[in-house]
Amino acid sequence: MERVWAARAGLGWAGANGLLTTPGYGSWVFLGVILTTLPLAPDVPLESRCGMCRLCMQSCPTRAIVAPGVIDARRCIAYHTVENRGDIPEEVQRQMGEWVFGCDICQEVCPWNARPVVTTERRFDPVNHDIEPGVVELSEDAFNARFAGSAIRRAKREGIRRNMGIVGRG
């Protein structure tokens, strides 16, 4: 995983929420990799700066973070709403709230994310990929066209329809 290499490269540390957390940007970062034969002096890996904080573990609605840095995907709303192609367990469904695609609670509560830096990179600007109620009516082709270039397509049309059905009941 990229975050392991990022931590070894001194960019940050693996937070209790399992995400690379950086001193300057928290966990709201994209990780990229460049493979090169250039001899570069490595930075020193950072020690964890989570300290006594356990906010992410305490705030997770399904208690999916079972130990610092250990996420039980079977309980994680993000896993189920994005990756799971089957049925979502009832106990997870009950905690989904309004999360139709993913869940960022364990990032939102992190003190290292309290003052997010807004990028000036225009290619990272938000695009209109809101999931409106009418999305359930879209054909497969219309869904793929609507969300072209968006990570939302990872859940596929059927996954989003399933998730909206669960959230709509809540």
Which stretches of the chain bind ligand SF4, using CB under 6 A?
15-17, 21, 50, 53-56, 60, 62, 64-65, 71, 76-78, 103, 105-106, 109-112
Q: CA 170 to CA 15: how far, in whole Å?
A: 31
Nearest Cα neighbor of 50 from 80, 29, 19 is 19
Least gap, CB of 76 to ligand SF4 (angstroms): 3
Least gap, CB of 85 to ligand SF4 (angstroms): 18
Nearer to ligand SF4, 115 or 122 (CB): 115
Q: Which residue is nearest to ligand SF4 (CB)?
A: 15
What are the DSSP E strand ranges found in the chain?
A: 13-14, 20-21, 65-67, 70-71
β 13-14/20-21 pair status: antiparallel
Q: Are the CB atoms for 97 and 167 separated by under 8 Å?
A: yes
Least gap, CB of 3 to ligand SF4 (angstroms): 12
Nearer to ligand SF4, 58 or 119 (CB): 58
- SS3 assignment, position 90: helix
Least gap, CB of 39 to ligand SF4 (angstroms): 33
Nearer to ligand SF4, 111 or 136 (CB): 111
Nearer to ligand SF4, 29 or 106 (CB): 106
Least gap, CB of 38 to ligand SF4 (angstroms): 32
Q: CA 88 to CA 1: how far, in whole Å?
A: 26
Nearer to ligand SF4, 43 or 83 (CB): 83
Tell me the CA distances in angstroms from 89 to 16, 55, 96, one per residue in order. Answer: 24, 25, 11
